[in-house]
């Protein structure tokens, strides 16, 4: 489509261009005429001077008297402010008012000299090759004849800078006059063009305001019948369009409010799998921009194969498709996805609507519930099965054998104690969680070293059985806001683990390290260590890195879970560093303040 121009730009420039071209032609013609006039005057003046000088040097040319000719040239040059040069037909200079003739090269090739030697009046305007200046000069050369024979050429010259200045002054005056005429013509042209284009321009501005959404604006009705009819028609159109747009915007805002307030992600795609719409929740899920995503193919914006497969399955004919997809955004997240057909007002299918609900926490809780139920069942079933077996054995006659009876009862007692320990730890964990939720755990400034030493004394008998030394490195004046009994329980559990899994005759290091932001209590053992794949789940209830060995050593599987919840109740966290064969280090991080 050809480029469009405003009417005033179509009318005004031609007027202005015609005026400027006319004035430029007049200025050029006048400047040229004046320049030719001044140069002709200068040439006539130089010729007159040359004719006068010709009479003075005529007597010194047959034979040529170079010294006398040069003397006359220099005298006349000083008095007349004119450069005078006498050149023989051979081109040799025998006199010059500016230079010594012997230093000057031959002048036979100068254009004015060539013309004079041919018997004509020679003129040229150029720079002097002899003087080597950047000032132009006008040269006039006449032949000096004797008996119809040219015996020399007499050349006169003056700088043209004075003429140039006069011409330049005249050109400036002409240009200023032309400029005034041009401005006057431009003003008249502009007024005429403006008067012709103004009504159309006003209507264009009004139409632009309509396009920008200012539909309450009304066009001015001019006194022109045609323009008035057009203005009224456009005003009526704006009124009807304003009513319809307001209705559409109201409905759209209501829909956007509903979609943006939803926690579920919603994506609408058309039949070509291009995104029609995407709400903020979906954009956050896939780290996208709704405005940039609109109109692009789903695969370009969201590179998730399970989602694309669900959408493809929905397009294959199934009215509704459900399934879970996994995305990785600050960790693994699970989205329950439901697709349904997207239809227009005529019930024609135009695409697919995808609704996604973040069920990461729900799935995690379900997995934890299943694992917890399975672990509790397993932990309780094992001792109950053993108790039941031994009781049945006693009931079927083994009770008669006192030694066997005593051994069986000892085993039953061991399993009962294990059951009691599990139940006690579960109740303890439940009490800690409940107290933390209700904010019933009171923290008081306490001596950290004293609490840790009490925990060490509790664990010391077990350590002595394996000849394990417990070494404490803690300053005397370290105090922190803690619940002393609970914190002591956490340290006891960590020490108990270190003793259970530490090598015999090794050392358990307990260090208290204060920093600017936290208080770190680390417990390091020299045991078998823990593989890296077990570390993330180590603080889950009943999770065991080595199930057989843990049960053999009498653990309930809840000790580290209790530690985790006690530390969380203190506003801190517990971490672990370990590698197989190098022991483990559990660190409690308590915030300061």
Domain tally for the chain? Answer: 5
The helix/strand/coil state of 446 is: strand
Tokens of 90: 């051979």
**pLDDT, position 548:** 44
pLDDT of residue 344: 74
CB 433 within 8 A of CB 372: no
Residues 256, 345, single domain; the answer is no
**Residue 87 tokens, joined:** 């050149």
pLDDT at 35: 75
The answer to whether residues 400 and 512 belong to one domain is no
- The predicted pLDDT at position 203 comes to 74
Give the pLDDT confidence score for residue 318 in this predicted structure: 63
CATH number at residue 326: 3.30.450.20
- Residue 38 CA to residue 110 CA, distance in Å, equals 23
Report CA torsion sign: 433, 435, 439, 445: negative
Q: Are residues 124 and 72 in the same domain?
A: yes
Mean per-residue pLDDT pooled into runs of 10, the chain (593 residues): 54 72 78 78 81 82 83 84 85 85 82 83 77 75 84 84 75 77 74 68 74 73 69 79 77 66 76 80 78 79 80 76 79 80 76 81 68 58 68 69 71 66 62 63 83 86 88 86 82 85 87 88 87 79 58 61 81 87 88 77
Q: Which residues does 423 contact at the CB level (< 8 Å), separation at least 6?
A: none
Q: Are strands 507-514 and 469-473 parallel, antiparallel or unpaired?
A: parallel
Q: What is the pLDDT of residue 2?
A: 47
Cis ω before 63 (30° cut-off from 0) = yes
Q: Answer yes or no: do 506 and 586 share one domain.
A: yes
Give CA angle at 550 (545, 551), nearest 5°. Answer: 135
Six token digits for residue 179: 């400029």
In a domain, 174, yes or no: no
Structure tokens that stand for 403 in this block: 């030694």
Tell which residue, 551, 555, 500, has the closest CA to residue 528. 500
Is the domain of 232 the same as that of 303? no
Name residue 574's beta-bridge partners: 588
Domain that holds residue 580: 441-591
Same domain, 337 and 454: no
Would residue 289 count as lying in a domain?
yes
Report the CATH number at residue 370: 1.10.287.130
Q: Please, what sign has the CA dihedral across residues 129, 131, 136, 139?
A: negative
Tell whether 16 and 110 lie within a shared domain.
Answer: yes
Single residue among 236, 261, 286 that ends a domain in this structure: 261
- Cα separation, 23 vs 28, whole angstroms: 8
Question: How far is the CA of 30 from the CAs of 182, 294, 389, in angstroms?
Answer: 17, 67, 133
Q: Residue 276: how many CB atoms within 10 A of its CB?
A: 16
């Amino acid at each position: 489509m050809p480029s469009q121009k405003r009417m005033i730009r179509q009318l005004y420039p031609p007027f202005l261009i015609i005026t400027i071209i006319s004035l430029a032609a007049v200025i050029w013609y006048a400047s040229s005429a004046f320049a030719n006039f001044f140069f002709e005057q200068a040439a006539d003046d130089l010729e007159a001077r040359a004719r006068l000088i010709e009479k003075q040097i005529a007597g010194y040319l047959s034979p040529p008297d170079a010294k006398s000719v040069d003397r006359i040239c220099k005298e006349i040059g000083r008095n007349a402010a004119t450069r005078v040069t006498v050149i023989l037909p051979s081109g040799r200079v025998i006199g010059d008012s500016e230079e010594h003739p012997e230093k000057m090269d031959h002048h036979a090739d100068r254009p004015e000299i060539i013309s004079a030697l041919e018997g004509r009046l020679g003129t040229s305007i150029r720079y002097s090759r002899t003087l080597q200046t950047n000032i132009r000069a006008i040269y006039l050369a006449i032949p000096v004849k004797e008996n119809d024979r040219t015996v020399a050429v007499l050349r006169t010259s003056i700088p043209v800078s004075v003429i140039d200045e006069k011409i330049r002054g005249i050109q400036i005056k002409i240009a200023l006059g032309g400029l005034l005429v041009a401005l006057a013509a431009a003003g008249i042209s502009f007024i005429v063009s403006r008067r012709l284009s103004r009504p159309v321009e006003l209507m264009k501005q009004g139409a632009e305001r309509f396009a920008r959404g200012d539909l309450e604006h009304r066009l001015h009705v001019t006194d022109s019948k045609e323009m008035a009819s057009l203005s009224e028609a456009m005003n009526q159109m704006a009124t009807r369009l304003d009513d319809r747009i307001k209705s559409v915007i109201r409905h759209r805002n209501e829909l956007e409010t509903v979609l943006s307030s939803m926690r579920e992600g919603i994506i609408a795609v058309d039949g070509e799998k291009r995104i029609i719409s995407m709400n903020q929740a979906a954009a956050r899920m896939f780290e996208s921009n709704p405005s940039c995503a609109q109109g692009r193919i789903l695969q370009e914006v969201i590179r998730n194969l399970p989602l694309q497969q669900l959408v493809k399955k929905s397009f294959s004919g199934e009215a509704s498709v459900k399934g879970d997809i996994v995305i990785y955004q600050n960790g693994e997240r699970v989205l329950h996805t439901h697709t349904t057909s997207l239809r227009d007002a005529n019930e024609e299918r135009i695409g697919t609507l995808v609704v996604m609900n973040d069920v990461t926490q729900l799935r995690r809780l379900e997995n934890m519930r299943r694992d917890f139920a399975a672990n509790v069942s397993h932990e309780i079933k094992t001792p109950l099965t053993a108790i039941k077996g031994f009781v049945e054995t006693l009931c079927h006659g083994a009770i008669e054998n006192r030694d066997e009876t005593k051994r069986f009862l000892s085993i039953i007692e061991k399993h009962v104690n294990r059951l009691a320990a599990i139940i006690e730890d579960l109740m303890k964990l439940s009490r800690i969680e409940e107290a933390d939720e209700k904010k019933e755990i009171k923290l008081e400034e306490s001596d950290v070293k004293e609490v840790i030493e009490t925990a060490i004394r509790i664990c010391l008998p077990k350590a002595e059985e394996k000849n394990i030394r417990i070494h404490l490195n803690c300053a005397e004046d370290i105090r922190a806001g803690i619940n002393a009994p609970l914190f002591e329980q956490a340290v006891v559990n960590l020490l108990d683990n270190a003793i259970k899994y530490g090598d015999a005759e090794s050392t358990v290091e307990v260090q208290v390290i204060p920093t600017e932001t936290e208080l770190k209590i680390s417990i390091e053992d020299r045991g078998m260590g823990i593989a890296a794949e077990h570390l993330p789940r180590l603080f889950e209830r009943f999770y065991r890195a080595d199930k057989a060995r843990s049960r053999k050593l009498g653990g309930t599987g809840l000790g580290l879970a209790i530690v985790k919840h006690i530390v969380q109740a203190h506003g801190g966290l517990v971490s672990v560093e370990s590698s197989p064969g190098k022991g483990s280090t559990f660190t409690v991080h308590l915030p300061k303040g």
